[in-house]
Structure 1
Amino acid sequence: MRISIYCILLVLMSSSCTLLRTRNIVYFSDLPKDKPIITEQISQDKGPVIKPEDLLSISVVTLNPESNMLFNTGVLLPVGGSTGMRQQQQGGNNDATQGYLVDDQGYIEFPVLGRVKVAGLTREEANNKLTADLQEYLQEPIVKVRYLNFRVTVIGEVSNPSVVTAMDDNMNIIEALGMAGDLTLYGKREDVLVIREENGTRTMARLNLNDSNVFKSPYFNLHQNDVIYVEPDKAKVAGTGFVRRNWGFAVGIVSTALFLFVR
């Protein structure tokens, strides 16, 4: 009798194990093991550009303290975009900071200069533009532009799906996945989807994190408001459906087996 019970349990375990299959969970697994140091040129990427609704911190340093006070101001807005605004209005978030909001036409309102178009520029290009424009009024100004609301969304088969933020525009997909708790064992490392919207166009690119060539992809370094989706392995999808469909049957079999066993 006990042998029969063991056979039944073995069949149930075997049927569930067939839902799993071998998956490569090693990042950049194609890198040679016999080379302790591998050097390659970093592909030149212009990087993310400033877009409408971006919130910028712009600091201006001069030899004149009064000028510093004049230029280092902005519109008082909560960090986090429209969601943060709603939370503040509802009394749920009082964390606000001064920044320059890029309007729908791509302009900011800057002291003395008035409306300045910054959309379409990288942070470095915006630095250079504002520095050149301010030299007419200031002596040797030092301008620094950075994002106050640079964020990407990570969803799917990761430990902590979330919106992750950075204080600048220097974030790559590995950093974003790490901030989201990394992929689970069921996450498809060879098929990670990056969704990007720029200039009225939505682009979707699939990256293979098992392949070291991912470093050369223009989607390895992330842009503002990118969405990363990690697709679950088919084994998890099938396994979830199997358990849902056969849960009652499995419980009945195990209960009966245990009853016969104790007798």
Structure 2
Amino acid sequence: MNKLNNVIKRMSKVVALFMLALTSSCVSNKKIAYFQDIQTVNQAKLDNAVAFTEPQIQADDILSINIFTLNLQSGAVINQAAATPTLGGNTNASLAAQNTGFLVDKNGEVELSLIGKVKVAGLTTYQARELIREKAAEVYKQPNVQLRFANFKVSVLGEVNAPSAYTLPNEKVSILDALSLAGDLTIYGRRDNILIVRDNNGKKEFARLDLNSSDIFNSAFYYLKQNDVIYVEPNKRKVSASNSAQIQTIGVIASVVSVIVLAISSFK
């Protein structure tokens, strides 16, 4: 009888462990709200947040450049129609927008008709615009230059509602802007460990941002650069949901073990 009681106790522990595994997989993630410490943050800390710095033009960037002159026909010689950036994902229109413009070659130069090659790598769009305006003034009278990125793209992957690559209409884009375009995080996304991958002159840089904390505003990665990749990891609930078949199997086994325990108990 003692042996039987020991068997029953051991099997009861097994059932308890199985049930614990099941219930632990269903624990909800309470860290849902963003910036949970915002009420207690010193305003001076927010006032000293990292300021936006204009991104620099790099090789393989595509620039939309338009030069307007008093003689419209003269300006049309070097202008290339700028496509309107698409806020969607990898649509044909989005790809067309990325392929329209002047490619910055490996030497960091763009080649413009009548003006020639202009080195723009390492410059901001404002600096490049002024440089091209000065060179255009040698050929045209009172030229007006418009220049912007035609391929300012960020990619948002993982647990968001609309993962995709997004071509943006301006270069002042924050991590929050990008996540908004992607439809925000799903309920399964980890808000405390957002990964950003950045290509800085051929070298990869990585950063982890916590949306639950206001410290995000002090990060050098709060404002994005062209070609940044944002990855939202799944939380434990998503991992558990992905293993639903395994969880169901555990439930069946636990039920069978429970029946066996009850059957053995009835013979006491």
Please indicate, yes or no, whether the TM-score normalized by the shorter chain is above 0.5: yes
- Equivalents in 2 of 1:68, 1:25: separation in Å? 53
- Identity level (%): 36
* 3-state SS, counterpart of residue 46 of structure 1: coil
Alignment of 1:156-235 (within 5 A): 156-235=158-237
Q: 1:94 to 1:23 in 2, by over 3 A?
A: closer
- Equivalents in 2 of 1:216, 1:112: separation in Å? 45
* 3-state SS, counterpart of residue 32 of structure 1: helix
Task: Give 2:23's aligned amino acid.
Answer: C
* 3-state SS, counterpart of residue 187 of structure 1: coil
Q: 1:154 to 1:34 in 2, by over 3 A?
A: closer
Task: Give 1:164's aligned amino acid.
Answer: Y
Greater Cα offset, 214-223 or 63-72: 63-72
Cα pair 2:18 2:254 within 8 Å, conserved: no
- Equivalents in 1 of 2:94, 2:65: separation in Å? 23
The match for 2:64 is: 57
Q: 1:238 to 1:129 in 2, by over 3 A?
A: same
* 3-state SS, counterpart of residue 232 of structure 1: coil
Q: 1:48 to 1:94 in 2, by over 3 A?
A: closer
- Equivalents in 1 of 2:28, 2:80: separation in Å? 57
Q: Which runs of 4+ in 1 moved over 6 A?
A: 10-14, 252-255
Cα pair 2:46 2:217 within 8 Å, conserved: no
- Equivalents in 1 of 2:250, 2:31: separation in Å? 33
Give RMSD over aligned pairs: 3.6
Q: Which structure dedicates a bigger proportion of its chain to helix?
A: 2
2:20 is aligned with 1:18: no
Q: 1:160 to 1:13 in 2, by over 3 A?
A: farther
TM-score (norm 1): 0.75
- Equivalents in 2 of 1:211, 1:246: separation in Å? 33
Q: CA deviation at 1:156?
A: 1.3
* 3-state SS, counterpart of residue 174 of structure 1: helix
Cα pair 2:132 2:145 within 8 Å, conserved: yes
Query: How many corresponding residue pairs?
Result: 237
- Equivalents in 2 of 1:246, 1:39: separation in Å? 45
Task: Give 2:109's aligned amino acid.
Answer: Y
Task: Give 1:160's aligned amino acid.
Answer: A
Cα pair 1:149 1:167 within 8 Å, conserved: no
Whose RCO is larger (CA < 8 A, sep 6+)?
Answer: 2
- Equivalents in 2 of 1:168, 1:31: separation in Å? 28
Q: 1:188 to 1:39 in 2, by over 3 A?
A: closer
TM-score (norm 2): 0.74
Q: 1:235 to 1:59 in 2, by over 3 A?
A: same
Q: CA deviation at 1:21?
A: 4.8
* 3-state SS, counterpart of residue 225 of structure 1: coil
